[in-house]
Amino acid sequence: MKTEPRKTPSLLLKNCKPIGGIYTGNEQSDLRIRDGKIAEVGSGLAPAPDELVHDAGGHFVSPGWMDMHVHFREPGQEHKETIHTGCRSAAFGGFTEVACMPNTTPPIHTRDVVEYIRNVASGEPVAVHPIGCVTKERKGRSLAEMADMKKGGAVAFSDDGDPVYDPAVMRTALEYSSMLDRPVINHEEDLALSRPGHMHEGSISTKLGLEGTPSIAEEVMIARDLLLAELTGGHIHVAHISTRNAVQMVREAKAKGIRVTTEVCPHHFDLTHEEIEKRGFDTNVKMHPPLRTQDDVDAMIEGLRDGTIDAICTDHAPHSIEEKEVEFIYAPNGIIGLETAWSISVMRLLEPGHLTLPQLLEKFIRAPREILRLPVPALEVGAEANLTLFSTDETWTYTEAVIRSKSRNSPYIGQTMRGRATGIYHRGIWVLNEL
């Protein structure tokens, strides 16, 4: 059953476990929302006549989660995803805010497009923050109107899947974005080294006869960007990091005081390049950066544990069935990830003891917002209610029937999951996530 979001100024969550701020998640309480704000937290709160009441069944409630790297495809590619269906998918995954990448048609390279996206998303329960292009039309030659886009609401700048290849352009972008107090997010890839790769370069690619993308293609570009960030004082954010050496480079740069942050996707701390052989060239395990080795997966977990990797994001990249159901080498890169990110994080990070629950929530709540200079929602009386309701132990199956995205390109369909976002409350709207 798919429950539609409903405007709910007053809501009483019974039997929830608040976690965040002064709340540790160890005690069961009730939480009352009045006029979109947290009005009361305590035990045995009696429902008011005008309140919607939801029994949380002992689930946790935290400040709302944020995914700082999604692709909602609108404008121009609405056959894959729309802002509405993307927000629906985000809500099901527990996210109350997202930042959308600029590889739309037209790209997000002017203030008009930034404002268009914000206007379309204004009535959604999920806030959509546009990321503007670094260069005009994402062509890598001349800077886009970054200051104007910031005025329109752009929270960062990126050319997304097209790396800013010219070092002089990147230097100028870092200098200028520093004055605007916004990060530059780069897809770290040296195209001369990576193309025409279709998977990680290694023993499996050789065995399967596929052109591979070597780890060094990511690492060379990161090395360049770290040097430029050190030179300019700008803030470089490394998108979807995926190799052990890349994590070590960021670790060392942070120790030197270079302004660098980074993110990792759940599939890069869960799956390896062996999946391509195991699944018989399933295009739903084709993404960029590609799935890499078990050693790289281990390095992602180590980086999350020691704080080198700041945030967990999804790189949610919807593609139509027609686009994905082709030969492996012709299929576009990317998978949907908003709806499974929490479950994969619980199973791969929380349950094995790599991260505590507060540490894991930090990657979903505070880190992405601090990177993008956005306010971090508070779980306290008087604060605007921006909340995620979730479990860490509920078992459920991710089937096509429960998918909220417009697309179905996930490697996790049919998999039994543990941990689920069971609802969100944001902008005065309550979304109950029923299976």
Sequence-separated (6 or more) residues with CB below 8 Å from residue 36: 9, 384, 385, 427, 428
Beta partners for residue 183, in sequence order: none
On the CB side of 326, CA atoms within 13 Å amount to: 10
Nearest alpha-carbon partner for 2 in 72, 67, 85, 82: 85
On the CB side of 354, CA atoms within 13 Å amount to: 21
Convert 209-228 into a string of H (helix), E (strand) and C (coil): CCCEECHHHHHHHHHHHHHH
Q: What is the DSSP letter of 106?
A: S
| Separation between Cα atoms, residue 244 and residue 254, nearest integer Å | 16
- Cα dihedral 311, 412, 75, 4, rounded to 10, equals -90
Give the active site residues: 315
